[in-house]
Structure 1
């Protein structure tokens, strides 16, 4: 009689996150790298809707990332494509970028949110602790996004703007962490 073959079950993992900005050299790579650092094992990526393909992270934002103890080296900008939109959560930096993704990739609509609206996602997740994260994300993406929540683009601006944008993104990523930890997905 043979012994049963042990079943290997993959470890549950945090939901995958795709950050999207315009050129994929400032805001989205900053958020991607920061999330990867703060939530090891996370499947974070970033893309641009008009990516500066192959470019490194913009130097001021790379410096802001380094100041937070995260290595920005090795990053190269990439254009968003349909295959990228399979992420569990897609976060744009502006309402205009979100509108672009919704128009170009309507099948991903219930996973496309706005980085500035993350506090609302965090609130919804904490108030609905029994609901699956996928359902919370879907409900959140249907909510109206108030004006004034866009993450300012520091590209071509001074160091003070890069610092303000980095501080805002750091705050939003920190607010996202408990949501993602709570939403650990079993394969």
Structure 2
């Protein structure tokens, strides 16, 4: 049983908070897992990107409370499962905290095993595409959580 799930991207304002709030919503209030997110180069203190937030709202999920935070060794170590958006994020996490490498996986592990691209500063269609990828990847993890 994973009690502390951390989802990681770069800025922690688009992909990882979208996955965090979507996974938390899908698991429901009765689930024991604590789902959070952080960035490898976080825009600390920033709210979720407006387009990401809008897409979540359109799907019945409220991410308005999000505040970006930086991933650090302590946060990585205390997590039971770390889900990254890209293979290079997994490598960077491995360099930061080699002892956590056994609990770091690609968010899309149960799908195509593909990187989920960063829609930051792109138009809404890019965010819609990324939302669909995240939605499918989150669904793939549900049976393992």
Counterparts of 2:3 and 2:133 in 1: how far apart (Å)? 22
1:59 pairs, out of 46, 50, 63, with: 50
Runs of 4+ in 1 over 3 A off after TM superposition: none
Residue 33 (structure 1) aligns with? 21
Root mean square deviation of aligned Cα = 1.4
TM-score normalized by structure 1? Answer: 0.72
CA distance in 2, matches of 1:26, 1:118: 21
In structure 2, the residue corresponding to 1:108 is in which secondary structure?
A: helix
Partners of 2:128 and 2:111 in 1: how far apart?
A: 20
Cα pair 2:51 2:127 within 8 Å, conserved: yes
TM-score, normalization: structure 2?
0.92
Aligned partner (choices 156, 160, 163) of residue 128 of structure 2:
163
Comparing both structures, which one devotes a greater share of its residues to strand?
2
Any stretches of 5+ residues in structure 2 without a counterpart? none
Q: Which residue number in structure 2 is paired with residue 71 of structure 1?
A: 62
Q: 1:14 to 1:89 in 2, by over 3 A?
A: closer
User: Which of 95, 98, 106 does residue 90 from structure 2 map onto?
Assistant: 98
Please state how far the C-alpha of 1:72 moved relative to its aligned partner. 1.2
Contact 2:2/2:80 (8 A) holds in 1: no
Q: Which has the larger radius of gyration?
A: 1
Q: How many residue pairs were aligned?
A: 141
Query: Where in structure 1 are there 5+ consecutive unaligned residues?
Result: 1-12, 121-145, 181-187
